[in-house]
Amino acid sequence: MDFEIANNSHFLFCYHLAKELFASLPDGRFFLQTQVSGDIVRATARFASDRDDLTVSQSASIKREFGLSRAENLAVGKAAWELFTNLSDRRPPYGVLVGVRPTKVALYYLEHGLSDPELIDRLTHDYFVRKEKALLLLKLAKTEKRIVENLASSDAVLYLSIPFCPSRCKYCSFISQSAPKQLARLDEYLSRMREELQKTAELFFGIGKTLKAVYLGGGTPGVLTEAQLDALFCELEADFNLSPDTEITAELGRPDTVTAEKLRVLSDHGIRRVCINPQTLSDEVLRENGRSHTAKQFYDAYSLARKTGRFCINADLIAGLSGDTPQGFLKSLTEILALDPENLTIHSLCKKRASEDESAFLAASEGIWTGAVSDAMHACINRGYEPYYLYRQKNTIENLENLGYAKPGQECVYNIAMMEDLCDVFSVGAGAITKLISKKGPHQKIRRFASYKYPTEYLSDPGKREKRFMEIKRLYMENPDDPVVL
């Protein structure tokens, strides 16, 4: 499909919506134009091919409280949806909300005073979100609103990136380093990270930030030895004023990397949140997906964590893994729920790196995971969990979401703040992004500073990092209240 769009700012939206609605984009040309007349904005979409020639128009009124761009987006969304759904049988669960963070739209209307029924009506009729997902977005927006109210404008979070893994899972779409040669550079990498931590702390306090939460993520941070974990957290404590209230999460990741000693190091550093991620409890599915651990190793790691410290434990599962079935996925979930972890995250398989075998499997299973993910949500809610953060990725199985659940009061603030762009995120290490967030709402401005993707580049060129520090400092010096000027 070729796109001919008068206002280029709608291109990505139309392209991604088309990708969600068509298994493969049809041959032909898609045209879109918008027109404003008085307080009405009209969008006209047309698709022309050898077989079809279809045109639809949709309009939206420009309300003072919502502004022109929201009205234009609404009209474009409605026109593109109507046109595409005339040509496709697919109805993605989040309708025209093709972005990573659909909760933002719900939060926006909640903050603009829409009642719960009005919000559901808006999401289902104007954004074509399925009712069950609209109710979920409303619930999440309310949780988020509560967290936002507790965040000060100076609050920021810190991400420590360990993009290394002991081996590579077949479905992985993450840039992680698993070759023994790369792992051999882990010490060097950590020493560079410690330097970067010191400099980040100087910048952080220099621009008046307060540390709200820290997340050690990967890859598989469990590849760090206990001595390496200890050195990293000693550095963090020396550089940042950690208070007992600073939330710290250590994602250990693969259960086969978890040991009692590592858990003890974390506990001794006052860390109260760990993630141990089996993804499935079927040994067969684990093998098929190249995850080199067993279900028993997950149980052992989980029980060690329970014995070693007062940890809030998160476990990750994936819906749609190659070789799994909805029944098998729900069985894994039942077994995890029986352990009663404080947090649980259910991901939907991201198809972008699917091998040919996996693609064939995914095509054959089209449509079967939506019900399983919905059953999983009800099972979690029945066990006393609440969904608390959500994000979507492109090309997930059946366009489903990744959803985090928590027992009441056990939510991970880092996850919400980072996923929903509620405050600045400072990142240390390769493959991570520092984000400055200036304003909430429809015109929120975000500036991203990417580090090098790979540890080798990160180690060979500290210059990029230095430039990033200087640029952030300059932005804050020029305009401390709104450093993000785009």
Specify the stretch interacting with ligand SF4 by CB under 6 A; choose among 32-40, 214-222, 265-273, 425-433. 214-222
At its nearest, how many Å lie between ligand SF4 and the CB of residue 215? 15
Report the first-to-last Cα separation within the chain, whole angstroms: 32
- Residue 169 binding ligand SF4, by CB under 6 A: yes
Other Cβ atoms less than 10 A from the Cβ of 317: the count is 22
Q: Is 97 in the site for ligand SF4 (CB under 6 A)?
A: no
Angle made by CA atoms 309, 313, 314, in degrees to the nearest 5 = 160
Choice between 287 and 378, CB closer to ligand SF4? 287
For residue 160, give the nearest of 128, 111, 201 by alpha carbon.
201
Residue closer to ligand SF4, measured from CB, 43 or 165 = 165
Task: Give the residue with the Cβ less far from ligand SF4, 14 or 276.
Answer: 276
Q: Hey, is 161 helix, strand or coil?
A: strand
* Options 72-80, 171-179, 342-350, 419-427: segment touching ligand SF4 (CB under 6 A): 171-179
Least distance from C-beta 250 to ligand SF4, angstroms? 15
**Cα–Cα dist 22/40, whole Å:** 30
Restricted to residues 371-430, the positions that interact with ligand SF4 (CB under 6 A) are none
Whether the Cβ atoms of residue 24 and residue 36 lie closer than 8 Å to each other: no
Interface stretch with ligand SF4, choices 215-223, 266-274, 326-334, 424-432 (CB under 6 A): 215-223
CB atoms within 10 A of CB 237: 12
Work out which of 80, 98, 123, 165 binds ligand SF4, going by CB under 6 A: 165
Q: Which of residues 218-257 bind ligand SF4 (CB under 6 A)?
A: 218-220, 253-254
Alpha-carbon gap, residue 172 to 352, rounded angstroms: 9
Q: CB of residue 286 vs ligand SF4: minimum separation in angstroms?
A: 11
H or E stretch at 142: helix 131-149
Closest separation between CB of residue 365 and ligand SF4, Å?
Answer: 20
Yes or no: say if 43 and 72 are a contact pair by the CB < 8 Å rule.
yes
Regarding 54 and contact with ligand SF4 (CB under 6 A), the answer is no
Query: Which residue, 276 or 475, is less far from ligand SF4 as judged by CB?
Result: 276
Q: Indicate the residue among 145 and 453 with the shorter CB distance to ligand SF4.
A: 453
**Of residues 93 and 278, the one with the C-beta less far from ligand SF4:** 278
For residue 54, what are its two tokens? 């279809």
Compare residues 218 and 309 and give the one whose CB is closer to ligand SF4: 218
Q: What is the nearest approach in angstroms of ligand SF4 to the Cβ of residue 412? A: 18
In the sheet that 29-37 helps form, which strands lie side by side, from edge to edge?
Answer: 2-5, 29-37, 40-48, 53-61
Q: Is 177 in the site for ligand SF4 (CB under 6 A)?
A: no
Residue 433 has a CB neighbour count (10 Å cut-off) of 13
The minimum distance between CB 171 and ligand SF4, in angstroms, equals 7
Q: Report whether 42 contacts 57 (CB < 8 A).
A: yes
Q: Which is nearer to ligand SF4, 124 or 294 (CB)?
A: 294
Interacting residue with ligand SF4 among 3, 31, 66, 174 (CB under 6 A): 174
DSSP summary character for residue 336 = H
- Near ligand SF4 by CB under 6 A: residue from 172, 339, 459, 484: 172
Residue 172 CB, nearest approach to ligand SF4 (Å): 3
> How many residues bind to ligand SF4 according to rule CB under 6 A?
11
| Minimal distance, residue 457 CB to ligand SF4, in Å | 18
Task: Give SS3 for 84.
Answer: helix
Residue 168 engages ligand SF4 in binding (rule: CB under 6 A): yes
CB of 315 to ligand SF4, least distance (A): 14
Please report how close the Cβ of residue 298 comes to ligand SF4 at its closest, in angstroms.
Answer: 13
Taking the least distance from each CB to ligand SF4, the nearer of 104 and 254 is 254
DSSP 474: H
Q: Is 196 helix (H, G, I), strand (E, B) or coil?
A: helix
CB-based contact 18:5 (threshold 8 Å): no
Q: Does residue 176 touch ligand SF4 according to CB under 6 A?
A: yes
Distance in Å, CB of 83 to ligand SF4, minimum: 37
Quick one: tokens of 102? 């659909």
Copy the structure tokens of residue 281: 């409890």
Strand partners, 391: 402
Q: How far is the CB of 419 from ligand SF4 (least distance, A)?
A: 18
**Closest by Cα among 348, 344, 261, 353 to 307:** 261
Query: What is the 3 state secondary structure string of 343-403?
Result: EEEEEECECCCCCHHHHHHHHHCCCCHHHHHHHHHHHHHHCCCEEEEEECCCCEHHHCCEE
Which C-beta is closer to ligand SF4: that of 60 or that of 276? 276
399, 107 in Cβ contact below 8 A?
no
- Sites of contact with ligand SF4 (CB under 6 A): 165, 168-169, 172, 174, 176, 218-220, 253-254
